[in-house]
Amino acid sequence: MKKIAKLVASSLAAVAILSLNSVGASAEWKKDNVGWIYSEGNSSHITGWKLIDGNWYYFNSSGYMAYDTTIDGYYLNSSGAWKYSDSDLIDQELIKNISIQNPHFYIRCYGDDANMQNIGNIFQSEINKLKITNSYEMFNVNNYNLSITRYGSGPINITIDCTYKMNAQMEAQLDVKARSIVEGIAPNSMSQVEKERAIHDWIINNTRYDQSYSIYDPYNTLIKHTGVCEGYSLLAQKMFTIAGIKSIVVEGKADGQDHAWNLVYIDGKWRHVDCTWDDPVSYRDVLQYDYYNLTDEEISNDHTWDSTKYPEAN
């Protein structure tokens, strides 16, 4: 499988996700019959996002604090605070930007859990987590460059440059074509068990393994009817999702080689489905069920993976 490359360099980050000043010495909370406001310096109240005593708050155009609501994708509790960690911030900003194939974006970390020595590790850890919870989006990252800067004891600035396997147009075309196929082979009148089998069979009957090892994305796997294991599993993930079937892409090894396949939640249980290995390289089309809906124990005869990261299939 192709690995996501990472380069840590040093550069200037001029733009932040949330660009706000620290609390000033003359800052003060005030409450009236409408709600809480926050004044600072000569201003009677502030508006927008504000970092106060380690928590983020949002103040509307009239200066009143928002609470029990979501602003810009961040939930503010009954006290009005978004209590965050740098891991949470990185996680949210990564999926938000990668979902729209943003090639260049910034993250600014203010929390106490990150420093210049461990921020790269935190970033990679969040990438690894999102590859499980948001497989389809994260596997679309071809590579990324990560630049980290900090001035004194101020916030840590992260600049991310990404390239993607599929652009927005390719993904839109994939979505239309995959939905059309799923509607034809796995209509809503079918049970989830029947839909799962129909999708498994369609992929195997319409795809051959890419022996040039150059096609990793689900778009080209579908359009060209060929791909490596990553292409098979991501196409399956896309089609399962359209059919309303929960699934995950698993990274591991098969016979000692890097490999990818799916975990599918079917009939209240997780099961392993390896479309690639059910489609052996042959001069003719072969449809097998040797790696269809297997338990952890059954597939572990020749597949290995970090079982602590994935749901149990027992």
Residues 33, 125, single domain; the answer is no
Report how far residue 262's alpha carbon sits from residue 271's, in angstroms, rounded to the nearest whole number: 8
- Are both 224 and 254 inside the same structural domain? yes
Query: Residue 273: which of 231, 236, 314, 223 has the closest Cα?
Result: 236
How many domains are there within the chain?
3
Domain boundary among 109, 129, 164: 164
Q: pTM of the prediction?
A: 0.73
Residue 238 is assigned to a structural domain of this protein: yes
* Residue 259 belongs to a domain: yes
pLDDT digits (tens, 9 = 90+) for 59-103: 999 999 999 998 887 788 889 988 667 888 888 899 999 999 999
Q: Residues 66, 91: one domain? A: no
DSSP symbols for 185-203: HS-TTS-HHHHHHHHHHHH
Res 105 pLDDT > 90: yes
Which of 134, 164, 194 lies at the terminal end of a domain, its last residue? 164
Token pair 């809906």 is at which residue? 293
Mark which of 164, 185, 201 sits at the end of a domain: 164
Residue 280: inside a domain: yes
**DSSP conformational letter for 44:** S
Q: What are the CA-CA distances from residue 24 to residues 28, 51, 151 (Å)?
A: 9, 11, 19
**Same domain, residue pair 157 and 32:** no
In a shared domain, residues 214 and 293: yes
Nearest by Cα to 142 from 89, 98, 208: 98
Same domain, 97 and 131: yes
What's the rounded Cα separation, in Å, for the pair 38 and 51? 11
Determine, yes or no, domain membership for 228: yes
> Which residue range forms the structural domain that includes residue 57?
27-76
Query: Within 13 A of 238's CA, how many CA atoms are on the CB side?
Result: 29
Residues 115 and 185 in one domain: no
Clarify whether residues 118 and 232 are in a common domain.
no
For residue 2, tell me if it sits in a domain: no
Q: List, for residues 198-216, the tens digit of each pLDDT value.
A: 999 999 999 999 999 999 9
- The least confident of 82-86, 181-185, 298-302 is 82-86
The single-letter code of the amino acid at 300 is S
Q: The domain spanning residue 126 has which CATH number?
A: 3.30.1370
Q: Is residue 186 part of a domain?
A: yes
* Whether residue 72 is found in the same domain as residue 202: no
Q: Which tokens belong to 262? A: 């799916």
Q: What is the pLDDT of residue 159?
A: 95
The dihedral through the CA atoms of 218, 220, 223, 228 has a sign that is: negative
- Give the domain CATH number at 42: 2.10.270.10
Structure tokens belonging to residue 314? 């027992």
- 51 lies in a domain? yes
Among the listed ranges 46-50, 180-184, 253-257, which one has the minimum average pLDDT value? Answer: 46-50
41: left (phi over 0), alpha (psi -120 to 50) or beta: left
pLDDT score at 9: 33
Output the domain CATH number for residue 230: 3.10.620.30
**Same-domain status, 133 and 184:** no
* 231 and 274 in a common domain: yes
Q: What percent of the chain has pLDDT over 70?
A: 89
